[in-house]
Amino acid sequence: MLRRQLRAETLRSTPWGGSSRTPISERSGSHGSIRSMIWRRGFRSLRRLPASRLARIASLAIVGGVCASLAASSSLLFLLGTLAALFLLGMEAIEPLSQEIDRPDITDGLPIERGRLFAYHLVAPAALLVVAAVLGAAAASVLEPSHAAAAFAIALPATLAGAIGPVAGAVLDAPTPIAVADTNIMGTPRDTEQSFVPPEFAGFSNAFSTFLPIVLTSLGLVPIVAMRFDPSAGTALRATIGVALVFGLLVRWVQRRDRWGVAIRSFFEAGRAERQAT
């Protein structure tokens, strides 16, 4: 609901810095030109963000940096403020991906696999989060100058890890691919009377899918907690490598989610067909 409310926000009619059009010769063709076109669309989308939204992004970055510094030096309860700031910051930054997900009619008409399209739309938000991470680190440094080196060392991995939850939640909100829209994950028709999931478990499943993005966002707190107990360059390096691996898994999941869903459905369908044949 929050993502859709942000998506409904009125954007600028003219991008910041003036409009720029993609030459017709580059709008179609090789995979590389399509990828470049998607990246340009993503950055153009961010350039159309209103001033109020940019101000919110800057404020969230500063609040996150201040809370992270306080969590490292005083109480871990300030991590709750950092968690909220990271989650909302990620939601604010994924505008290009959110636009694509909310327009499946356009997405399905593009000559590129939907998973790759979503993955390419992570580039522009990542660039925006780099700027937000610098703001957060600067805020932490102003609050506590002795934290400056640590703040700039872990600001980017913490900010990118915090965006994992919003990205996962947005991709999970994408419509089911047309090829398998009439079946559930077990490969059975959606209108079938047979249910493999009891009502009690269905409620738990809904709650799990609701809180999953927040749980994933909490990965952004790991570098902060690690630096609190061992403020060294090695800790910052290990945290950065860990976040890079997790973020790489996220990108791979975004790319392959549709394929894996179709494969799982096909597996169960093949199993039922084999049992019926015997």
Quick: pLDDT tens for 44-78: 888 888 888 899 999 999 999 999 999 988 889 99
Mean pLDDT of the region 187-215: 62
Lowest mean pLDDT among 111-115, 228-232, 260-264: 260-264
Task: Give the pLDDT confidence score for residue 199 in this predicted structure.
Answer: 56
- Report residue 26's pLDDT band, with 50, 70 and 90 as the boundaries: very low
Distance CA 274, CA 268 (A): 10
Q: 137 and 144 in contact (C-beta within 8 Å)?
A: no
Reported as a single tens digit per residue, the pLDDT across 7-24 is 666 677 777 777 655 544
Task: Give the pLDDT confidence score for residue 25 in this predicted structure.
Answer: 43
Of 203, 228, 106, 210, nearest to 168 by C-alpha is: 210
Task: Give the pLDDT confidence score for residue 17 in this predicted structure.
Answer: 75
Cα→Cα distances 69→84, 164, 242, 258, Å: 15, 22, 21, 40
Mean pLDDT of the region 115-129: 91
Is the model's pLDDT at 261 over the cut of 60? yes
- Report residue 2's pLDDT band, with 50, 70 and 90 as the boundaries: low
Is the model's pLDDT at 216 over the cut of 50? yes
DSSP 124-181: HHHHHHHHHHHHHHHHHHHH-GGGHHHHHHHHHHHHHHHTHHHHHHHHHTSPPPGGGT
- Report residue 270's pLDDT band, with 50, 70 and 90 as the boundaries: confident
Is the model's pLDDT at 169 over the cut of 50? yes
DSSP state, residue 198: -
Three-state SS for 195? coil
> E strand or H helix at 205, and its extent?
helix 199-217
DSSP state, residue 189: B
Task: Give the pLDDT confidence score for residue 193 in this predicted structure.
Answer: 45
Lowest mean pLDDT among 132-141, 178-187, 202-211: 178-187
Q: 77 and 149 in contact (C-beta within 8 Å)?
A: no
Mean pLDDT of the region 238-243: 91
| Amino acid at the residue 245 | L
Average pLDDT, the chain: 81
Of 124, 158, 169, 160, nearest to 248 by C-alpha is: 160
* Two structure tokens written together for 239: 């945290």
| Amino acid at the residue 205 | S
Task: Give the pLDDT confidence score for residue 28 in this predicted structure.
Answer: 47
* Two structure tokens written together for 133: 């991470």
Task: Give the pLDDT confidence score for residue 153 in this predicted structure.
Answer: 92
Is the model's pLDDT at 221 over the cut of 60? yes
Cα radius of gyration rounded to whole Å, the chain: 21
Strand partners, 183: 189
Strand partners, 189: 183
Interior angle at CA 123, CA 121 and CA 127, nearest 5: 135
DSSP state, residue 123: H
* Two structure tokens written together for 136: 């957060």
Q: Which residue has the higher pLDDT, 195 or 164?
A: 164
Is the model's pLDDT at 265 over the cut of 70? yes
Lowest mean pLDDT among 84-88, 203-207, 216-220: 203-207
